[in-house]
Amino acid sequence: MFDPSSDHAKNTHDPVSELLMGMRLRGASYGRLQLSPPFGIRFAAGPDARFHFVARGKVLLRSAGETVRELGCGDAVLLPRGEAHEIVTGPNVQMRDYESYAQKPLCAEVAAVEACLKTAGRESDTLIFTGRMEFELDTLHPLVGLMPQVMSVGALIGRQPELMPLLDAMEREMGEERVGSAGILARLADVIAASIVRGWVECGCGDATGWIEALRDPRLGRVIAALHREPGRAWTLSDMAREMGSSRSVFAKRFVEVTGVTPQRYVLALRMRLAEQWFRRDKLPIDTAARRLGFGSQAAFARAFKRIVGEPPGRTRKAMSNGAETGMRGRKNGAAREI
């Protein structure tokens, strides 16, 4: 989503923008749905974000604790925490789990799902492009927890008119089914989903408080940004207070008031989130992660990791490695099984 090596990342004075430079939103798998109404699709909760784009027809999006949303042609929504939800054409339709549909691979990342009641005159079918997306947040994990359950592109059009050509392009690609359209749809979905997140941040992150408030505080935000830039540094309370330009007691009190945790606890949790990210994305050896994060020994790192994450780093790394190998085998077989 952003390039952390860009000049903007180095020169920005806005801590929120600076931290967002390390954010990635990467599509894991996608589905092109062509369905004849009436229908109801149930999407189970999962660890990844969910994206939906309606290219033709009208549907309702239902999720626990949320007002039912009507989605029409050109609408796109992102569910950043991947909570359970349903896409239906009416209030009393028969429900079916998304995973139960037969899927035909279109390319390495995209599978086609078709369920129709007729073989001719299918211009009345509903077309939906759906995606399962991984947030690569590095140090930004708190941001996801502050996001709304459902985020819509509709609220952004007035402020980001440049999104309209992207939405129009998705609609055309869905309808025309040209050569290579599956891959182009996947990339367009990534950009639109990232734009939804950026728009939310630019609008002040809605009603989010605490962590965002800390970043918006000019002096405290400098400290947070510095911690994220140098997570492996041997930070002391004096170092952090100096970064803020205050005494240790004033800094510590303000930090706890805004974030709800002590500065030392924040730094430790930040390091462990980074380690989890490195294990999953880079398959980094445990001793290398420990060294990068400023631990004097692998044993000390392992104790801290277990205290924060709840299990030893070896188990986390093994589970993530096994999951990646399974995903690779699935792609080699040419099927996007869980979308």
pLDDT tens per residue across span 221-236: 888 888 888 989 999 9
Helix (H) or strand (E) holding 279: helix 263-282
Is the per-residue pLDDT at 337 higher than 60? no
- Mean pLDDT, the chain, whole residue set: 80
Is the per-residue pLDDT at 15 higher than 80? no
pLDDT band at 117 (very low <50, low <70, confident <90, very high): very low
pLDDT digits (tens, 9 = 90+) for 177-220: 777 888 889 889 988 988 888 787 777 666 555 666 676 777 88
pLDDT digits (tens, 9 = 90+) for 279-328: 877 788 999 999 999 999 999 999 999 999 888 998 888 875 555 444 43
Residue intervals in the chain for CATH 1.10.10.60: 211-323
Fold of 26-202: Jelly Rolls (2.60.120)
Residue intervals in the chain for CATH 2.60.120.10: 26-202
Cβ–Cβ under 8 Å, residues 89 and 62: no
pLDDT band at 54 (very low <50, low <70, confident <90, very high): very high
Is the per-residue pLDDT at 9 higher than 90? no
Give the homologous superfamily in CATH for domain 211-323: Homeodomain-like (1.10.10.60)
| pLDDT for residue 181 | 84
Cα separation, 260 vs 253, whole angstroms: 10
| pLDDT for residue 332 | 38
- Mention every residue, 6+ apart, whose C-beta is less than 8 A from residue 270: 139, 227, 228, 231
Backbone CA torsion sign across 243, 297, 302, 319 = positive
Helix (H) or strand (E) holding 145: helix 141-146
Is the per-residue pLDDT at 16 higher than 80? no
pTM above 0.75, yes or no: no
- What is the DSSP secondary structure assignment for residue 154, as one 8-state letter? G
